Amino acid sequence: MATSRLEFRQVTKRFGNRNSGDGRDPVITAVEDVSLALADGEVVSLIGPSGCGKSTLLNLGSGLDRPNEGTVLVDGEEVDGPNSHVAFMLQKDLLLPWRTIRDNVELGQEIQGVARESRRTVALDLIAKYKLGEFANAYPHQLSGGMRQRAALARTMAMDPDVLLLDEPFSALDAQTKMVLQTDLARTLKDEGKTAFLITHDLIEAVALSDRVLVMSSRPGRIIEEIAVEMPEREKPIARRGHPKMGDYITKLMGLLHIGDEIEAA
Amino acid sequence: MAARDAGALAPAVPRPDAERSCAAATCCAAATVEQGPRPVAAPAPTPAAAKRGLASRFNRKETWLSLVVLVLFVAGWEWGPVLLGIAPYNIPRLSLVIQEGVFLYQNSELLYHAGITCFEVLVGFSLGCLLGAVIGYLLGMSPTTEVIASPYLLALQIAPKVAFAPLFILWFGYNMAPKILVAVLIVFFPILINVLTSVRTVDPALINLARSFKASRWQIFWKIEFPASMPSLFSGLRIGSTLAVIGVTVGEFVGGNTGLGYLLVQGEGQGNTGSVFAAIILLTLIGIIAYALVILAERRVLRYLPKRDFGDVAIPI
């Protein structure tokens, strides 16, 4: 079997003062003994109750944080810091308000010292691809929420990462904009053959966009279930929404997350 | 701990537009939420449309009413004291003040003294800003240093800066140095605190974004923290520009024989209320010009912000 693009091996992450035993500053175990692997070109979603450590996994995957136990591997190599194989996108677009959209898309390459002309070409291509052409020289505040999130996607893709880590990227958008952007993302992932790890609260989004869905328990977060999504056409999430199997998957996920027993957990 | 100390220092500084310091950091996040329902295809406001909105906000009606207030004020000063029977040595009417100004211009080198004061304000303000900004950025980037330094900074901030004026004159004599130093000292703190607070409150997610691109510490500062601090820096500069005039004036009160502060004290000694008022008016003008220059620079630097953020004081430039 080929090397996994992204792999977690028995990863545990704790927060708080590791030396204090007096309970004044209690140690919180965010995730415990998490193992998972994403094959090349695979899209996997992670769902779980609030505060179960989903975002912690994302920080570990991007190398911004290190696990206390276990290892995180990208392309078979241990992650020991931020690296150019992985890029992330969050719920907040994180566009710099003082930069134009084009300059925002260029940010990553600029930091890595790519020559101005070539990074500009890449940025303008992506801006056109995500239908932001006429806003290349606009500032973020002049764009709608959906446009800003597409600009953030362009900035992420400008790094040409092997693995995309997506932390609730569409949760701040309205329902229609969300569906349009889900389609944009699904097509991009399919066309470019990217591997993606998607953290979400939206059960339909998880099923519609993914090959597999992982379910996490509440803290300390553990992976309690893995569901393979057996639906065709991953690049067409809107069609998948209407697929006859969708209802079954959602029912199953709701059961696993105890939605209904614990309304607030949703 | 460090963040809390910065917060403890911050409220002591007057901030006419504190809400804007966070505008840069949070505007994307806030707008993401508030603009949610807008369909993707909807045209975003263009820069030209934003400009038109600004022009209509300060429309003719407000401008005229503002001019009416000015006319009432001038008329009140000219005829009010006579009507109310106030003696000219308490409040001389406006035309007397202007006469006194002309007299000072002809006989006491008014322009020379005003020029000296302007120069001291300019140098004191520039040095104070530079010092405050540099130390603000250094402390902002080093939480440990800030924790160590913050009690002393707080003490210095509480100490009345103008009280140092006699000391500086003892040290440096009757020249421009003490006046400039008082201005530096008084300008330093609002700049320092604003810069420090803004570096501390940069959205950590933005720093993480830069880190994920493998940015160096210097790149994080230069590409994220420094530009993110601009709105706060300019709030500090606005406050500093007016404080610089205060610092210089007090310095001139205390010693020396140049500057508008000196002329003012001279007028007081001669019981010449008119020349005191003339000096006050000129000092105010210098403050207004300094403030306006900061606003002009701010409009150039912060052009990426939505225009409404400049609405607190409308200066018709």
Question: Does position B184 have pLDDT exceeding 70, yes or no?
Answer: yes
Question: Does position B70 have pLDDT exceeding 90, yes or no?
Answer: yes
Question: Does position B22 have pLDDT exceeding 70, yes or no?
Answer: no
The percentage of chain A sitting over the pLDDT mark of 70, rounded to a whole number, equals 93
Query: If 0-12 CB within 10 Å is exposed, 13-18 middle and 19+ buried, where does residue A155 land?
Result: buried
Question: Does position A260 have pLDDT exceeding 90, yes or no?
Answer: no
Check residue B50 and give its pLDDT: 46
Cα of A255 to nearest chain B Cα, Å: 30
At B99-113, the pLDDT tens digits run: 988 988 888 888 999
Prediction pTM value: 0.77
Check residue B59 and give its pLDDT: 65
Chain B residues with CB within 8 Å of chain A CB: 24, 27-29, 31-33, 35-40, 42, 44-47, 50, 203, 205-206, 208-215, 219, 223-224, 227-228, 230, 304-306
Q: How confident is the model at residue A2 (pLDDT cuts 50, 70, 90)?
A: low
Residue B274: how many other CB atoms lie within 10 Å:
23
Check residue A264 and give its pLDDT: 53
- Average pLDDT of chain B, as a whole number: 80
Cα of B240 to nearest chain A Cα, Å: 24
The percentage of chain A sitting over the pLDDT mark of 90, rounded to a whole number, equals 23
| ipTM rounded to 2 decimals | 0.84
- Whether residues B304 and A108 touch (CB distance < 8 A) is answered with no
Chain B residues with CB-CB distance to A173 below 8 A: 32, 36
Whole-angstrom distance, CA of residue A238 vs CA of residue B78: 76
Q: How confident is the model at residue B264 (pLDDT cuts 50, 70, 90)?
A: very high
Check residue A82 and give its pLDDT: 86
Chain B residues with CB-CB distance to A92 below 8 A: 28-29, 32, 203, 205
Whole-angstrom distance, CA of residue A8 vs CA of residue A222: 12
Check residue B12 and give its pLDDT: 37
Check residue A106 and give its pLDDT: 93
Check residue A244 and give its pLDDT: 82
Question: Does position B51 have pLDDT exceeding 50, yes or no?
Answer: no
Check residue A173 and give its pLDDT: 85
- Whether residues B44 and A86 touch (CB distance < 8 A) is answered with no
- Average pLDDT of chain A, as a whole number: 85
Mutate to test the interface with B, among A59, A62, A74, A98 (most CBs of B within 10 A): A98
Mutate to test the interface with B, among A85, A92, A185 (most CBs of B within 10 A): A92
Whole-angstrom distance, CA of residue B273 vs CA of residue B268: 7
Check residue B124 and give its pLDDT: 95
Whole-angstrom distance, CA of residue A129 vs CA of residue A107: 18
Check residue A138 and give its pLDDT: 92
Question: Does position B171 have pLDDT exceeding 70, yes or no?
Answer: yes
DSSP result, B125-148: HHHHHHHHHHHHHHHHH-HHHHHH
